[in-house]
Amino acid sequence: MNATLTDHYPTRLLAPGPVVPRTHPTVWGGADDGPLTAAELAAFDGSGYHAEQALLGPEEVRALQAEARRLTADPALRGDERTVVEEKSQEVRSVFEVHRLSPAFARLAADPRLAGRARQLLGSEVYVHQSRVNYKPGFGGGPFYWHSDFETWHAEDGMPAPRAVSVSLALTENHPFNGSLMIIPGSHRSFVPCVGRTPPDHHLNSLRTHSVAVGMPEQEAVTALAEQAGGIEQFTGGPGSATFFDSNCMHGSNGNITPYPRSNVFLVFNSVDNTLTAPFGAPAPRPAHIASRDFTPVARDAER
């Protein structure tokens, strides 16, 4: 574990600890640094998220849908560690590192509509910490319990500060009833420590079932955040819509009994000034396809 840096956000504790107020900024850039307006940046600072309808056009989405299908069906990837298969049905749930597996997703990661907003929010060059395609089937796709991604990335990957932003790009329609993303507004300002030491190779289980207790906040803490916020935000929208959200947002999603599956591309941009060190709460770092250790900045559009 990390013994060289001060740990501003201790977690994976032996007993429940108090919520830690965030000490780092949320928005590091200004209105001159990218496509988001000053009002949009201020709103992101307060809520922790920014939603865009139709960030990508229908043609672009169709091409990405086809590419996602190709990757989940690729027999060469089936036994690969980058492919997460559901235990019961043996169906593919996620494919990781798609920005390295596929030129189409590499172009998407470098697209100024995505990377440009990330650079602006983080006030620096950015690199891709994680990328994946998710597929949540209809008729019983399971829930994802409340969690902060930064809590995991800090504890298990050694990310020092919450200076990272995620983009969830919809490839299918997000209805209110098919397990769409929920975020507690303003929760990114509170770091909720989780109880329980991280077992070795924890990610092999946590990515598959999400029913393990380590890395999950106490119900009381989630309730308090929702009460403070006065509610929960749920993100709906058509294919091509995108939600940008701070790495420390408390988020989750319900299960889905409807016939409508849900598929998205998930991209995490981290600041090049926030690169990974040793894990702060795990015996060993996770593999590079889950938490990249190649910190090469995403190329700017003009330089491609």
Q: Which residues bind a copy of itself (CB under 8 A)?
A: 138-140, 143-146, 175-177, 179, 182, 219, 222-223, 226-227, 232, 234, 252-260
Q: In this complex, which beta carbon is closest to a copy of itself, that of residue 220 or of residue 301? A: 220
Q: Which of 222, 286, 289 is nearest to 252 (CA)?
A: 222
Q: In this complex, which beta carbon is closest to a copy of itself, that of residue 162 or of residue 252? A: 252
Shortest separation between residue 171's beta carbon and a copy of itself, angstroms:
19
Which residues, in sequence order, are CB contacts of 164 under 8 Å at separation 6+? 122, 129, 149, 150, 153, 246, 247, 268, 269, 270, 271, 274
Looking at the DSSP bridge assignments, the partners of residue 39 are: none
Q: Which of 285, 275, 263, 271 is nearest to 94 (CA)?
A: 263
Which residues, in sequence order, are CB contacts of 153 under 8 Å at separation 6+? 129, 159, 164, 247, 291
Shortest separation between residue 145's beta carbon and a copy of itself, angstroms:
6
Shortest separation between residue 186's beta carbon and a copy of itself, angstroms:
15
Shortest separation between residue 175's beta carbon and a copy of itself, angstroms:
8
Please check whether residue 248 is in contact with residue 24, taking contact to mean a CB–CB distance below 8 angstroms: no
Shortest separation between residue 270's beta carbon and a copy of itself, angstroms:
27
Residue 187 is which amino acid?
A: S
Q: In this complex, which beta carbon is closest to a copy of itself, that of residue 17 or of residue 143? A: 143
Please check whether residue 291 is in contact with residue 129, taking contact to mean a CB–CB distance below 8 angstroms: yes
Residue 144 is which amino acid?
A: F
Q: In this complex, which beta carbon is closest to a copy of itself, that of residue 140 or of residue 199? A: 140
At which residue do the structure tokens 């598929």 appear? 263
Shortest separation between residue 225's beta carbon and a copy of itself, angstroms:
9
Q: In this complex, which beta carbon is closest to a copy of itself, that of residue 106 or of residue 226? A: 226
Q: In this complex, which beta carbon is closest to a copy of itself, that of residue 177 or of residue 299? A: 177
Shortest separation between residue 232's beta carbon and a copy of itself, angstroms:
6
Q: In this complex, which beta carbon is closest to a copy of itself, that of residue 215 or of residue 279? A: 215
Cα–Cα separations (whole angstroms), residue 197 to 11, 149, 163, 202: 9, 17, 24, 10
